[in-house]
A and B are shown apart, each in its own frame.
Chain A
């Protein structure tokens, strides 16, 4: 029996990481975890296109997928959490990739992950607003409800200085131009868009409508979005309206937008707890941001989070354990929590 798309995808990734990494390294890759380990692995094993491809994937979903691949004799367990493809798995996969490119041609999660969801939020709202303007409908409920996105669209439209018809026509021209050039199925994106008299589909509805597995649909969707981003970034002159959607975030920002906000608050002297409260996020999320900041900013001072002496003990422990496993470090530095260890490791990743 031929492989389903998701089976092929997971086999493809396991083939890349071999039995050198655990299934959870794939989990972190799909989640788009900003840790040095995940980022290095993505590059080392040529899996950067899939970075942050499935941010909503759960551990359980991944685990049950692996079990089903094992049951079908496609995957063999080498050690706990480590797998390799069976001969059958190899055969089926190479058959599959002759029919369908893996990864999809334009998928580039590592390059565009920080733009992807913001671009979609803005584009979908912009199309809805433009459509309602063109058809002179004044009352509608926006499909995106974040205040900053709403404000952004208002401002964007004002800046274009175009009539309603020109705006609608311009977006139509640029979008259809992109969609024709891209090898993906344009309906994957267009079905999701909301206009003046038709509400767009959710991703699950669109996948069902196109009779695609959700995993497959998601990658095709990202493929098209990344293609549009590629066009807008590389040839902004040809796609001024699309480029305008991301121009303000295009410049290489070291942090994700959310981390950037956390960083701004840190600079104002807020504690992690306060930031979590202010931003209505989990403390663990804020801690991830701080690790990401330490990873990118060479001169970021950890003193406020981990006392100097503890930093040194953590580093010492890290040198004693070859694998740099957090748990092993933790066993040696009992008074350090995982956040502190990760932070120190992020900061000193290259030295030890």
Chain B
């Protein structure tokens, strides 16, 4: 059976997307691989198909619970029952049950923190893992966006598990980050399959304007551009504010951010997918795991914290391959907000000081610290992101004196902040770059080839006429008839409800 036949048999797809086949071939030949494939190009197939063709289970390391859940559901939805997810959402009983029957599963998803326990490692060791797939592999590098210290132990885990074939997957990683991935995963040799991050169907515009003009310009764009579109913000409040402003002006706009309750988040996301409104004003919480092909524009009201996340976010446009537009609105000084955000993600020295004073004061033993995590985190005012970093250090409280740990956390935060600042500076350099924007991106990701793109970017020349609204949205306000609506939901023939 050749690869195309296998693809057809297990997934009913006629052909591979770019990069998939090469990556799978490396794995089936028993070689390690680093694959950089833009989001939406079917990264998960790269471990799922080999999973069916190799003996033994596949271990998939995934940092985000929501992403993990999406993939588990996707597999189950296709009728695959041998899927399990090991993460911190499991109760002790569920965890015990999952571990004791682990040999029955083909696809074992695991969050990195679960790989820290000997029980789990020993169980995995007994399984003869055929492939380790590491999702969002850039998280291992402090130069990548979204560095997760938890990922650093993966190199060791690989070795303990007997150096099985390893696939590192990422959507965005510079050459430097890819080198870091290989080094930290302790890969001796590997194949690299790198697809360009460049999306020629997306025209890239940067507009520098005054703080006061931004709102008006956003409205102008939304009222003139063909939707649907996304506007990204770094603050929930601004997302709400602009959405309300646009609604006042007669646009169909909704806000989406992490502050909404779960039900509203699902509904708004689904309404957008279903074309029930035209523009979503969102924070970066929006877009993960959503696949909407016809997004025509992405506007950034605030700059992203790195070029990598910027590309991910604009990459949500034009998945259907049709021409789309990315507009970044920049007012000089905007980066101050970014610096504040970057700082807020890291534990502050005062908080860390308070934490260790509290541990001393309460005479907490390492076990107590673990048990009272919630109390400690709340007392010192740590956010979830901050606490994740701190908690990771506290794990070594048994081996290290508290004073040393405190220093380590502070040093870590300082170092991270420098890196984050340099990433923001790089973002600003992109904005101010007096040349082709696409070229800057090629340069940043160490890509050489450069091809002609019409309507390339705001430097090369870009005609907004191409993105003008052409479909008027008629949407006559019709009288809402609840009974008719209910009937059309629940009855096969909506006509027969007046019996």
Contact = CB atoms under 8 A, between A and B. Distances in A.
Interface of A: 56, 127, 130-131, 134-135, 139, 141-145, 165, 168-169, 171-172, 175-176, 179, 186-187, 190-191, 193-205, 271, 273-274, 276-280, 282-283
A168 B274 contact: no
Contacts of A145: 262, 266
Contacts of B489: 127, 131, 134, 168, 172, 193, 195-196, 198
Given A168-B491, A168-B492, A274-B371, A204 B264 contact: yes
Contact of B491 (A142, A169, A198): A169
12 contacts: A144-B266, A168-B492, A176-B497, A190-B482, A191-B482, A195-B490, A199-B270, A200-B267, A203-B264, A273-B372, A278-B91, A282-B374
Contact of A198 (B77, B92, B274): B274
Given A141-B266, A145-B266, 15 more contacts: A139-B77, A144-B263, A168-B491, A171-B490, A186-B483, A187-B482, A191-B482, A194-B270, A195-B489, A198-B276, A202-B264, A273-B372, A274-B371, A279-B91, A282-B374
A199 B271 contact: yes
Contacts of B88: 280
Contacts of A276: 374
Interface in B247-303: 254, 260-264, 266-268, 270-271, 274, 276
Contact of B89 (A168, A280, A283): A280
Contacts of B497: 172, 176
A172 B371 contact: no
A134 B488 CA distance: 10
B451 interface: no
Contact of A199 (B92, B274, B483, B492): B274
A169 B490 contact: yes
A281 B56 CA distance: 37
A232 B483 CA distance: 20
Contacts of B488: 195
Nearest to A195: B489
A197 B130 CA distance: 43
B490 A134 contact: yes
Nearest to A169: B491
Contact of B268 (A134, A202, A283): A202
A71 to B, nearest CB: 24
A205 B492 CA distance: 28
A199 B486 CA distance: 12
Contact of B483 (A142, A176, A282, A283): A176
A175 B491 CA distance: 13
A54 to B, nearest CB: 13
A141 B270 contact: yes
B45 interface: no
Contact of B492 (A127, A139, A165): A165
Given A145-B262, A202-B263, A134 B374 contact: no
B485 A190 contact: yes
B487 interface: yes
Contacts of A165: 491-492
A141 B263 CA distance: 12
Contacts of A134: 489-492
A274 B497 CA distance: 53
A328 B89 CA distance: 40
A274 B374 CA distance: 11
A278 B93 CA distance: 10
Contacts of B480: 187, 191
A151 B482 CA distance: 29
B482 A143 contact: no
Contacts of B264: 202-204
Nearest to A143: B266
B371 A273 contact: yes
Nearest to A132: B489
A172 B480 CA distance: 17
A134 B489 CA distance: 8
Contacts of A130: 490
A176 B492 contact: no
Contact of B267 (A135, A143, A172): A143
A191 B276 CA distance: 13
B89 to A, nearest CB: 7
A70 B228 CA distance: 45
Contacts of A56: 261
Give the 4 A-B CB pairs with smallest separation, nearest first: A195-B489, A168-B490, A172-B490, A273-B371
A169 B488 CA distance: 11
Max chain A C-beta neighbours (<10 A), residue from B276, B486, B490, B497 = B490
Given A135-B492, A199-B271, A200-B267, A175 B89 contact: no
